[in-house]
C-alpha cells in the first residue's frame, strides 16, 4: 500500500498553489495538507510562527497511523518539515524537500525576504494578490518571519541536520535555478537527490508528473531499502563488523 503523504507548502503559498497539480497523480494515497499558520484568509497569524508550524505537522502524523512521507517545499516549508521530522521518529518513513539548499545561510534568506517585502511595498498588485490569499495579516506574516529569522527562532536546517534524522531524505530541486541546481551536490553522499529539467523553485508546480513519480519511486525504494540512507547504514555496519 502507498504510504500516506503530509504536504507542507512554502511561505505565502497554500497546499493547493504549491502541490495542486500533483494531487490527481496520487489517487491511491491518503494526503494531508498542513497549511502554515497565518496562511489563508481565515487563519490568524500566531505570535510563534515557526513553532506553531512544526506543532501542526507533528500533530498531522498522529500516533498509531501508518508512517507517512513528509514533504516540504521552498525554504520555510522544507525547514518546518525537517524540524518536525526530527521530533517524529518512526511516525514517518521518509522526508522529501524541494526548492531547498542545506548549505544556505539564514542571512541569505533574510536578504531575500527583505527584498521581497520592499517589492511588495512598491507594487499594489502584489499586496492585493496576497491579501486575497491570506487576508490583511499577510504583511505581518512576512514581518514576523523576518523577525524570527533575525532572532534565531527560525533556523534553516543544514547538512548536520541530516545526521539527526533516522529516516531517508530526498532533495528534489529544479534545474532552472543555478543555486538550487548545484545545492544537491553537498548532500549527495547522505541523501537521495534529483534535479528536474524545466523546473524552477516550485518543482511540484513546474513539473508535477515528474515530482509525483519521484515520490512514488522514493517510497518504493524505502520499502526495498534501496536509498542512500540505507546504503550508508549498511556500509557502516559492514565497517564495524
- Yes or no: say if 74 and 18 are a contact pair by the CB < 8 Å rule: yes
193 strand-pairing partners = 171
Strands 169-174 and 68-73: unpaired
pLDDT of residue 102: 96
Spatial neighbors of 222 by CB under 8 A, at least 6 apart, are 3, 93, 94, 168, 230
Q: What percent of the chain has pLDDT over 70?
A: 99
Task: Answer yes or no: are the C-beta atoms of 120 and 142 closer than 8 Å.
Answer: yes
Confidence of residue 235 (pLDDT cuts 50, 70, 90): confident
Q: Is the dihedral of CA 111, 136, 60, 53 positive or negative?
A: positive
C-beta atoms surrounding 97 within 10 Å = 27
pLDDT one-digit tens code per residue, 139-167? 888 888 889 988 888 899 999 999 889 99
What would the grid cell of residue 138 be? Answer: 499577510
User: Distance (Å, rounded) from C-alpha 195 to C-alpha 179?
Assistant: 12
* Contact of 29 with 6, CB cutoff 8 Å: no
| Position with higher pLDDT, 172 vs 64 | 172
Average of pLDDT values for 64-87?
94
Query: ∠ at Cα 78 (114, 187), nearest 5°?
Result: 105
pTM of the model: 0.93
- Strands of the chain (E only): list them: 5-8, 31-33, 68-73, 92-98, 169-174, 192-196
Across 182-191, average pLDDT: 96
**Average per-residue pLDDT in the chain?**
91
Q: How far is CA 213 from the centre of its chain?
A: 17
Predicted confidence (pLDDT) per residue in 194-228, tens digit? 999 999 999 999 999 999 999 999 999 999 999 99
Residue 58 has phi, psi (to 5 degrees) of: -60, -40
pLDDT-based confidence at residue 16 (cuts at 50, 70, 90): very high
Amino acid at each position: 500500500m502507498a504510504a500516506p503523504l503530509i504536504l507542507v507548502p512554502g511561505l505565502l503559498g497554500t497546499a493547493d498553489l504549491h502541490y495542486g497539480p500533483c494531487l490527481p497523480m496520487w489517487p491511491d494515497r491518503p494526503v494531508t495538507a498542513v497549511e502554515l499558520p497565518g496562511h489563508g484568509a481565515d487563519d490568524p497569524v500566531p505570535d510563534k510562527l515557526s513553532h506553531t508550524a512544526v506543532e501542526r505537522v507533528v500533530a498531522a502524523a498522529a500516533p498509531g497511523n501508518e508512517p507517512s512521507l513528509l514533504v516540504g517545499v521552498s525554504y520555510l516549508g522544507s525547514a518546518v518539515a525537517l524540524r518536525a521530522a526530527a521530533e517524529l521518529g518512526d511516525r514517518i518513513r521518509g522526508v522529501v524537500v524541494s526548492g531547498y539548499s542545506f548549505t544556505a545561510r539564514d542571512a541569505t534568506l533574510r536578504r531575500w525576504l527583505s527584498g521581497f517585502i520592499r517589492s511588495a511595498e512598491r507594487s499594489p498588485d502584489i499586496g492585493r494578490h496576497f491579501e486575497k490569499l491570506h487576508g490583511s495579516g499577510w504583511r505581518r506574516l512576512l514581518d514576523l518571519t523576518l523577525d524570527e529569522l533575525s532572532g534565531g527562532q527560525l533556523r534553516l536546517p543544514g547538512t548536520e541536520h541530516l545526521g539527526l534524522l533516522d529516516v531517508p531524505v530526498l532533495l528534489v530541486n529544479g534545474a532552472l535555478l543555478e543555486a538550487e541546481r548545484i545545492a544537491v551536490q553537498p548532500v549527495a553522499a547522505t541523501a537521495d537527490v534529483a534535479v528536474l529539467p524545466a523546473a524552477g523553485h516550485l518543482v511540484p508546480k513546474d513539473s508535477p508528473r515528474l515530482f509525483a513519480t519521484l515520490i512514488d519511486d522514493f517510497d518504493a525504494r524505502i520499502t526495498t531499502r534501496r536509498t542512500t540512507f540505507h546504503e550508508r547504514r549498511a556500509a557502516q555496519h559492514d565497517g564495524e563488523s
